């Protein structure tokens, strides 16, 4: 059975990380991951209430999962390209989540008593190539124009490196995460030897040890896994161009115009137009003209 998400007449893929750790049928892995990064020992996976928003997508992919357990609201996101603006994204997401939470609980902003909100926790699981830190923290205040002044709001995002060989204490407590890390590392190694992506994925799946937690799932969903990773690979190329250190790889002025267009479309959540522009140069030029970029 496919884990793709149908919205209207469109089919959206999960990122592989979310396919593994963000699904109702695999909440025991979600709980294992939660325990590993928080040092807790919860055992009842049914206590997890997954409440991921339906309309937060990028390039046809879902790369986040939100859930509540024991009064804590966790927002997990997977990123393969560094993005220093994650605190702002998390803030926007949190507002939407809490709005829906209050609606579902029939809480009114004008209640005589205070609304009991779950405690938010933000975690980004990163596997961008070249990262050599186990963990870092991104702060919303680092984005403010006057960061030295006292601020009235703060938000912390915990960024965990899940490349193979990093955060070994977390990997030891969450075997599916260790398997995922080895799987991605094997694909990169095969690609580095000139193997095409599809063959590299096959080699990585079949090369997982027999006691791997994720091997059977990947084997039985091999076609879907390849589709997810091919889409992720395309998305990474775009993000590397648009976001890496705020610069575009290449110095041609036209490249800068295209990067500006992609950034505008993403910010305005015009995901369909973004995807169409990637594959249709004529349509991309129409959008460049529309926004006065050419």
**pLDDT surpasses 90 at 288:** no
pLDDT tens by residue, 41-79: 999 999 999 998 876 545 455 678 999 999 999 999 998
Mean pLDDT of 201-229: 94
Handedness of CA 284, 286, 288, 294 (dihedral sign): positive
pLDDT tens by residue, 125-156: 999 888 899 999 999 999 999 877 888 999 99
Q: Residue 251 in 3-state DSSP? A: coil
Q: How much is the pLDDT for 81?
A: 81
Q: How much is the pLDDT for 244?
A: 43
**pLDDT surpasses 90 at 260:** no
Residues paired with residue 73 on neighbouring β-strands, in sequence order: 68, 120
Q: How much is the pLDDT for 12?
A: 46
**pLDDT surpasses 50 at 250:** no
**CB neighbours of 215 closer than 8 A, spacing ≥ 6?**
179, 205, 208, 209
Q: How much is the pLDDT for 270?
A: 76
Residue boundaries of the structural domains of the chain: 5-232, 248-294
CB 18 within 8 A of CB 227: no
Q: What burial class does residue 38 get, using C-beta atoms within 10 Å of its C-beta: 0-12 exposed, 13-18 middle, 19+ buried? A: middle
Rounded Cα distance between 78 and 291, Å, is 31
**pLDDT surpasses 80 at 7:** no
Of 8-12, 93-97, 267-271, 272-276, the one with minimum mean pLDDT is 8-12
Rounded Cα distance between 7 and 86, Å, is 25
**pLDDT surpasses 70 at 283:** yes
Q: How much is the pLDDT for 114?
A: 92
Rounded Cα distance between 223 and 24, Å, is 21
pLDDT band at 157 (very low <50, low <70, confident <90, very high): very high
Of 76-85, 111-120, 246-255, the one with minimum mean pLDDT is 246-255
- CA gyration radius, the chain: 20
Strands laid side by side in the 49-50 sheet: 49-50, 64-69, 72-79, 119-126, 156-161, 135-139
**CB neighbours of 199 closer than 8 A, spacing ≥ 6?**
190
CB atoms < 10 A from the CB of 177, how many? 26
Q: How much is the pLDDT for 282?
A: 86
What is the residue whose two structure tokens read 């990163």? 126
Of 20-34, 97-111, 171-185, 220-234, the one with minimum mean pLDDT is 220-234
Of 81-85, 88-92, 203-207, 249-253, the one with minimum mean pLDDT is 249-253
Annotate 88-115 with three-state secondary structure. HHHHHHHHHHHHHHHHHCCCCCCCCCCC
Q: What percent of the chain has pLDDT over 90?
A: 58
Rounded Cα distance between 160 and 183, Å, is 17
Q: What percent of the chain has pLDDT over 70?
A: 82
Mean pLDDT of 254-264: 68
More confident residue, 45 or 9: 45
**The dihedral formed by the CA atoms of 100, 102, 105 and 110, expressed in degrees to the nearest 10:** -150
């Amino acid at each position: 059975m496919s884990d793709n998400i149908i919205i209207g007449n469109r089919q959206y893929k999960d990122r592989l990380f979310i396919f593994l750790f963000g699904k109702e049928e695999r909440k025991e892995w979600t709980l294992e991951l939660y325990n590993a990064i928080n040092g807790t020992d919860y055992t009842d996976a049914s206590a997890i209430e997954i409440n991921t928003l339906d309309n937060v997508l990028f390039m046809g992919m879902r790369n986040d999962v939100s859930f509540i357990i024991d009064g804590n609201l966790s927002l997990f996101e997977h990123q393969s390209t560094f993005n220093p603006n994650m605190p702002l994204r998390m803030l926007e997401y949190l507002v939407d989540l809490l709005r829906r939470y209050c609606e579902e609980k029939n809480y009114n902003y004008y209640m005589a008593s205070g609304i009991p909100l779950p405690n938010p926790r933000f975690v980004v699981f990163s596997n961008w190539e070249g990262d050599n830190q186990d963990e870092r923290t991104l702060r919303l205040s680092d984005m403010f124009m006057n960061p030295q002044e006292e601020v009235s709001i703060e938000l912390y995002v915990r960024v965990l490196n899940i490349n193979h060989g990093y955060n070994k204490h977390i990997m030891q407590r969450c075997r599916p995460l260790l398997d995922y890390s080895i799987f991605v590392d094997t694909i990169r190694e095969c690609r580095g030897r000139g193997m095409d992506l599809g063959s590299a994925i096959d080699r990585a799946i079949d090369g997982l040890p027999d006691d791997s937690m994720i091997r059977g799932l990947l084997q039985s969903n091999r076609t879907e896994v390849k589709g997810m990773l091919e889409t992720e690979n395309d998305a990474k190329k775009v993000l590397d161009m648009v976001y890496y250190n705020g610069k575009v790889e290449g110095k041609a002025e036209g490249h800068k115009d295209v990067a500006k267009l992609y950034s505008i479309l993403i910010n305005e959540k015009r995901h369909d137009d973004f995807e169409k522009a990637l594959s249709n140069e004529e349509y991309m030029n129409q959008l460049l003209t529309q926004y006065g970029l050419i």
